[in-house]
Amino acid sequence: MSTVSYYTAEGLKKLREELDYLKTVMRPKASQDIADARDKGDLSENAEYDAAKEAQGMLEMKIAKLEEIHANARLIDESNLDLSKVLVLSSVKIRNQANGMEMKYTLVAESEADLKTGKISVTSPIGKGLLGKSIGEVAEIKVPNGVLKFEVLEISRD
């Protein structure tokens, strides 16, 4: 059973580009590697041929998985999202009530999460805790060493 994944336009474009690259560049290269290994002689004792065939199999599995993900991908329509609550694609400025530290995150689909760029998954503990909150509300997020309290300071769409 396949699961539906939600993507921004940018995330869906990256998925398509990766799939196209695997199909148009890597697939022909894998075929060429097999042909080159086959030309080297006896296939029963040709480790290079076996390795090339295995690499091709792994590539085809990756392509099939990405095709399934792409087939079940849904584009998020940002124009219909409510700005008064934290939702997917919201940029949220929060303050840790314990130490006063302020952070800004953008909540994205799990497949697009990248902490280095400030994008956190809506399925992460912080993402789940922030979903549905309004400005001024406090999100209590359970973590292994206790409970963190974050106050929502700002909600925007970047």
Name the pLDDT band for 82 (thresholds 50, 70, 90): low
Domain boundaries, the chain: 5-75, 85-156
Predicted confidence at residue 9, as pLDDT, reads: 79
**Helix or strand holding residue 75 (H, E):** strand 73-75
146-156 and 91-96 beta bridge pairing: antiparallel
Q: What is the pTM of this model?
A: 0.62
* Residue 65: count of CB within 10 angstroms of its CB: 11
Choose the CATH number for 85-156 among 3.30.565.10, 3.90.650.10, 3.10.50.30, 3.30.70.100. Answer: 3.10.50.30
Determine the Cα–Cα distance for residues 110 and 3; give it in Å rounded to an integer: 12
pLDDT of residue 79: 66
User: CA nearest 132: which of 74, 68, 84, 64?
Assistant: 84
Q: Which of 70, 81, 97 is nearest to 153 (CA)?
A: 97
Q: Which CATH number fits domain 5-75: 3.20.20.70, 1.10.287.180, 1.10.533.10, 3.40.640.10?
A: 1.10.287.180
CA separation for the pair 141, 126 (Å, rounded): 6
pLDDT band at 48 (very low <50, low <70, confident <90, very high): confident
b or e along 105-116 (b: 16 or more beta carbons within 10 Å of the residue's beta carbon)? Answer: bbbbbeebbeee
* Averaged pLDDT for residues 120-142: 89
pLDDT at res. 63: 93
